[in-house]
């Protein structure tokens, strides 16, 4: 079931890696859209959906493939503007009487420049800021003859039909991908397209919230739902949204594994139980986790122990909730794309990431994942819409295994206490200097070495620690943050003076790759 209170745009998906980015550009323009795989778009579907405009996505196929994906021919007869992108352009030309050729020698992958032949049409208004505009191409086949009724409005060296349109029918077709970052002015094209299709931009994060709530109610009915709450942005936003949808049918389970940061458990429990009145199980399992981790120093062993215990504990508390049929998770769109391998082949495990994977099948639970279509910044916007405080929404990511992977070597309660204190001073410094929001993630790692120092007239023999701070867009790659020497000096002095147990501070200047963000 779809939202019917807004003008709707239909994106027919032919399998491009970047289809979701089209939706994202449209959402930035406050246009309601839905992505549907081409197989599901039948004549009946089109009639029921009643789109105000249609976009054909790109895709890996060739129109020459047997059973090549196609939209239903009726889409060309419903009288609404259509924009075809890359494969979408080719299939449009193919179906409307143009020609597509296989691209030996004319394939284009990467940056290209389109020159306008006529930029007065509505689609291109304000688009060509330069004599030629940078675009992102990624195609093997190309259109060699346009369909009757179409004219050319832009060319690139390898795509003589880079931009074409049939102005009578409001059909537009481009060979490049306007939705990607590497087509810097691509948003203008979408803006022009939705404007000429008559969209008023009435769809907002508030509307997304309403729609998501309706869908959650529809999916869950009167069943019980459990949600593993970590205190991170994603699971917090998911929990608040689901609670708004189904109230006390939701129970959150917050597992305190003894590896949290200073005051973290209090902050999370106060916020969700007291402020949001959510049923919340605070499972203090620190003895169990720290007991099992005793004497373990191998990073993968630590991760595996924590992952397994987490599932056991979660299952125990979930059973106590009784009869839950659904498990809620704050899965984001990037998690969804990354889990689909490009090659289909197995990839090397760098680190076993811990989550509650494995649970749904084991417990016969179905998943509720209301953030699956969103990017991190959109989740933050939704969090604001739901009234979560900024201090919570802007929090740096914190890994499931917590401080265990910031404590190379043996994990002891002593070391964890020292680490918590040092981390709190470091984050305080970053906040005081107004740098918190510029940094993707910052933390202290306590090192398994002790060094000699002198304080006052006394010899010290204490732990060394490393400060880490990185900038990143998605955590996949990262650069170290270029703090000033003054900042680093002041922070080191504060940590050594305020945290008993540390007498040496270093700054980690490794990027990812070759390093990773966490130390283990």
- Per CB under 6 A, residues contacting ligand XMP are 351, 353-354, 397, 399-401, 441, 475, 512, 516-518
How many other CB atoms are there within 10 angstroms of residue 465's CB atom?
A: 27
Complex with ligand XMP: residue 74 or 477, whichever CB lies closer: 477
Of 320 and 474, which has the nearer Cβ to ligand XMP?
A: 474
Length of the chain: 520
SS3 at position 490:
helix
Marked catalytic residue, from 86, 252, 407, 465 = 86
Closest Cα partner for 171 from 156, 151, 142, 191? 151
Q: Which is nearer to ligand XMP, 178 or 231 (CB)?
A: 231
Distance CA 369, CA 107 (A): 38
Shortest Å distance, C-beta 234 to ligand XMP: 9
* 8 A C-beta contact, residue 262 and residue 417: no
- Annotated catalytic residue 465: no
Minimum Å gap between C-beta 512 and ligand XMP is: 5
Residue 354 annotated as catalytic: no
CA atoms within 13 A on the CB side of 395: 21
Of residues 177, 243, 257, 317, which has the active-site annotation? 177
CA-closest candidate to residue 166, choices 183, 147, 180: 147
Rounded to a whole number of angstroms, the minimum distance from the CB of residue 304 to ligand XMP is 11
Q: DSSP letter string over 3-14?
A: --SS-EEEEEE-
User: In 10 A of CB 168, how many CB atoms?
Assistant: 7
Give the Å distances, CA to CA, from 470 to 335, 429, 431, 486. Answer: 20, 15, 15, 18
From the candidates 33, 108, 142, 179, give the one annotated as an active-site residue. Answer: 179
Query: Whole-angstrom Cα distance, residue 225 to residue 223?
Result: 7
Looking at beta carbons only, is 360 or 397 nearer to ligand XMP? 397
CB of 209 to ligand XMP, least distance (A): 25
Q: How far is the CB of 518 from ligand XMP (least distance, A)?
A: 3
- For residue 26 the two structure tokens come to 């449209």
Task: Please say which residue, 262 or 516, places its beta carbon nearer to ligand XMP.
Answer: 516
Name the minimum Å distance from CB 472 to ligand XMP.
8
* CA-wise closest residue to 56 among 83, 21, 27: 83
- Per the annotation, the verdict on 211 as an active-site residue is no
Nearer to ligand XMP by Cβ, of 178 and 400: the residue is: 400
Active site residues per annotation? 86, 177, 179
């Amino acid at each position: 079931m779809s939202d019917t209170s807004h003008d709707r745009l239909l994106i027919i998906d032919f399998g491009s890696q970047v289809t979701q980015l089209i939706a994202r550009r449209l959402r930035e323009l406050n246009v309601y859209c839905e992505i549907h795989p081409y197989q599901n778009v039948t004549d009946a579907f089109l009639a029921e959906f009643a789109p105000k405009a249609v976009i054909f996505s790109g895709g890996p196929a060739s129109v020459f493939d047997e059973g090549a994906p196609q939209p239903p021919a009726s889409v060309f007869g419903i009288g609404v503007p259509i924009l075809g992108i890359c494969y979408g352009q080719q299939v449009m030309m193919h179906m409307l009487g143009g020609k597509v050729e296989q691209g030996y020698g004319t394939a284009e992958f990467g940056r290209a420049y389109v020159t306008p032949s006529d930029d007065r049409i509505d689609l291109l208004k304000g688009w060509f800021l330069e004599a030629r505009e940078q675009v992102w191409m990624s195609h093997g086949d190309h259109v060699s003859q346009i369909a009757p009724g179409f004219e050319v409005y832009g060319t690139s060296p390898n795509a003589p039909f880079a931009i074409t349109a049939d102005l009578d029918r409001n059909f537009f077709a481009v060979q490049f991908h306007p939705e990607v970052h590497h087509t810097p002015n691509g948003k203008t094209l979408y803006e022009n397209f939705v404007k000429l299709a008559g969209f008023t931009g009435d769809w907002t994060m508030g509307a997304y919230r309403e729609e998501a709530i309706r869908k959650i109610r529809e999916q869950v009915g009167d069943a019980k739902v459990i949600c593993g709450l970590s205190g991170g942005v994603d699971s917090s936003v998911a929990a608040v949204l689901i609670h708004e949808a189904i109230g006390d049918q939701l129970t959150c389970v917050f597992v305190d594994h003894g590896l949290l940061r200073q005051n973290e458990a209090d902050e999370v429990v106060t916020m969700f139980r007291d402020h949001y009145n959510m049923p919340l199980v605070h499972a203090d399992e620190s003895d169990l986790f720290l007991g099992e981790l005793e004497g373990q120093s191998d990073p993968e062993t630590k991760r595996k122990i924590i992952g397994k215990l987490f599932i056991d504990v979660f299952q125990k508390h979930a059973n106590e909730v009784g009869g839950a049929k659904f498990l809620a998770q704050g899965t984001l769109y990037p998690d969804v794309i990354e889990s689909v391998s490009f090659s289909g082949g197995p990839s090397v495990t760098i680190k076993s990431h811990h989550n509650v994977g494995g649970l749904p099948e084991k417990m016969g639970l179905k998943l509720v994942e209301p953030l699956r279509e969103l990017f991190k910044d959109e989740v933050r916007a939704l969090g604001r819409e739901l009234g979560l405080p900024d201090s919570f929404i802007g929090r740096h990511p914190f890994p499931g295994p917590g401080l265990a992977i910031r404590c190379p070597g043996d994990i002891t309660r002593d070391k964890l206490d020292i680490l918590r204190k040092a981390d709190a001073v470091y984050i305080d410094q970053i906040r005081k200097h107004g740098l918190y929001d510029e940094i993707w993630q910052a933390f202290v790692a306590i090192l398994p070495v002790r060094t000699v120092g002198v304080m006052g007239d006394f010899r010290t023999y204490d732990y060394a620690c490393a400060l880490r701070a990185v900038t990143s867009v998605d955590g996949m790659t990262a650069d170290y943050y270029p703090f000033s020497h003054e900042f680093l000096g002041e922070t080191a002095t504060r940590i050594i003076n305020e945290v008993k147990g540390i007498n040496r501070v270093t700054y980690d200047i490794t990027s990812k790759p070759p390093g990773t963000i966490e130390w283990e």
